[in-house]
């Protein structure tokens, strides 16, 4: 994959009309994947080296983003989703790589503002079910 512009990575959420809308004016975004290991080491493990059970751990994805809300509608959608504790379908588009889509829960929503600047936000989403990957 050749170098890509960070601004081309998009974070979208399914709204109440079942359409995916770009969430705010994100200036930075990140998605990370984690998989827990299941340790099956026992007294007779070769050289007492740790052994792991393949495919048995819990997988999760975390998406984070920060920026400014582009309009009142995206601000309301994110805020209401958080306060209602809703799980919505989200989509992250990574240029020249693919699209990751699935249910996420907003686990953090922070607002901040500088004296001579705009109000910005940070948002953290945790996967809440199976995700799909579609290669470009």
Instruction: State yes or no: pLDDT of 124 exceeds 80.
Output: yes
Query: Where does the pLDDT of residue 71 fall: very low under 50, low under 70, confident under 90, or very high at 90 and above?
Result: confident
| pLDDT score at 1 | 59
Q: How far apart are CA 24 and CA 71, in angstroms?
A: 7
Q: How far apart are CA 6 and CA 65, in angstroms?
A: 12
3-class secondary structure, 111: strand
HSE, CB side, 13 Å, CA atoms: give it for residue 55: 0
Instruction: State yes or no: pLDDT of 109 exceeds 90.
Output: yes
């Amino acid at each position: 994959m050749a170098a890509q512009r960070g601004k081309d990575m998009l974070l979208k959420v399914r709204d109440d009309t079942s359409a995916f809308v770009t969430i705010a004016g994100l200036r930075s975004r990140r998605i990370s994947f984690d998989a827990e290991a299941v340790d099956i080491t026992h007294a007779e493990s070769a050289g007492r080296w740790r052994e792991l059970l393949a495919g048995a751990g819990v997988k999760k994805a975390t998406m984070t983003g920060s920026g400014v809300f582009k309009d009142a509608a995206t601000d309301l959608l994110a805020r209401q989703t958080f306060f209602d504790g809703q799980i919505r379908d989200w989509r992250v588009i990574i240029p020249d790589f693919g699209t990751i889509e699935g249910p996420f829960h907003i686990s953090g929503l922070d607002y901040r503002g500088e004296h001579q600047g705009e109000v910005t936000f940070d948002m953290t989403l945790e996967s809440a079910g199976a995700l799909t990957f579609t290669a470009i």
